[in-house]
Structure 1
């Protein structure tokens, strides 16, 4: 393709995108607010955070954290912003970067388990989320605007999930209201391996 053709296609794409934004319905604009940069931490020096995350992003053994790997085991390390998975027979080990809660007040640690698996989840903000963000919609169905991404593992704690995200800026940062987020391709893989009853520990 010539440079002129490339410029034309780029300009046409920009204009189409701009027109779509102007014509976007109110719900789409509200869901954009849910997924906006304002819901993700800002760093003065992102390189410091990246260095810190990489230094602590390391493989781990399951033994210090679980008595066994029955039904598989998921370890969420909030400080290093990583999710570890071991299969029941220990033949599979996976390590994924994750998003974590925005504040310590929103953070929960301890033992739980997967109680439900949903592909194409819908999302409803909790009452406390709506109190903090009254402009947010009360419901978002499955799709590209959904804050839960393509898959969700529901935990035994009410409102807590390990889920995907369409907003890749959130991974590796404090950006959630309590849940743990993964890239969509990673949650899809974890979803295929985890089962109802898989044990989960958040540390």
Structure 2
């Protein structure tokens, strides 16, 4: 399939979203989704959500401001615009806002945290809807661990007790709720040892590797996520820099940097994932190579399938 065909379908998608009133920041938007039951149903899968938006840079506005206003982390806007100074972008620059994502693989369809893309997904399986938020993660030496766990605690206005690794900087005294508390106003504790999901008093850290392993959300996002999640929810923390999705019969590939250096060969990894879905014969390999080389974290169409699995 030609790139012009891809662009045509993308235009149709944007127009349909405009008509349904979904334009504007999508930081708290819910999106319909569906996963294929098997290879024969791949054509009917809907695992790409969101849509591109557009923004003119205002006077003294930074890319960090733009990212936050549109529900993105710093990494997402920086990857898409590597040649623009994030602190002093030129006023009136017309930006395409990459608020579009391939859904991550999931076993339980409850809460998924994908480390390389620095995003958390909250699935509402019973109604086929999903929400997503940008996150900050563990820095070098404190990498956020992968694994399956559950939500075991929910707390508002938490007190932070500095762990041993932080006491040289912060001391050992508990930090009460307030502007100096790095947990922000909400804490969602996990069964994984020493790991939780919380707010932050430093929003610039969302979309960066800055924490001691915990997952940080913008203050305006953690307040929503806190109300959505329940004790007992399953949480999957995965490491997947390459995602494959399908929408309207088009196959999309989304590739992120391998931030923790876990994948020796990203192209081989992408090829393996596409083959596992039975889609390798339906993609243009040159486009797969392009996506892997760019690693800009944005879904791009690389092929097509016929709905219902017909050939």
TM-score (norm 2): 0.44
Match 2:229 to one of 186, 194, 202: 194
- Equivalent position to 2:106, from 52, 60, 65: 65
How many angstroms does 1:53 deviate by?
Answer: 7.0
User: How much is the aligned-residue C-alpha RMSD, in angstroms?
Assistant: 2.6
Question: Is 1:94 the counterpart of 2:131 in the alignment?
Answer: yes
Divergent runs of 4+, >4 A = 53-58
Query: Aligned partners of 1:80, 1:53: CA distance in 2, in Å?
Result: 13
More helix by share: 1
Where in structure 2 are the equivalents of 1:1-203 lying within 5 Å?
A: 50-52=77-79, 58-61=100-103, 64-66=105-107, 68-69=108-109, 73-103=110-140, 105-130=142-167, 133=168, 135-203=170-238
| DSSP-derived class of the 2:166 partner | helix
**Matched residues in 1 for 2:219 and 2:177: separation?**
13
The one of the two structures with greater contact order (alpha-carbon pairs below 8 A, sep at least 6) is 1
Structure 1 Cα separation of the partners of residues 150 and 162 of structure 2: 22
Report Cα offsets for 1:95-144 as digits up to 9, x if no partner. Answer: 111101111543211111100000111111222333xx355343101111
**In structure 2, do the counterparts of structure 1 residues 185 and 49 end up closer, same or farther at CA, with 3 Å as the change threshold?**
closer
Partner Cα separation in structure 2 for residue 141 and residue 48 of structure 1: 30
TM superposition shift of 1:88 = 4.1
TM-aligned CA distance change 1:49 to 1:94, over 3 Å: closer
2:268 matched residue in structure 1: none
Determine the C-alpha separation between the residues in 1 that align with 2:98 and 2:139.
19
Q: What TM-score do you get using the length of structure 1 for normalisation? A: 0.65
Give the distance between the partners of 2:143 and 2:171, measured in 1 at CA: 18
2-structure distance, mates of 1:179, 1:53: 25
Q: 1:140 to 1:105 in 2, by over 3 A?
A: closer
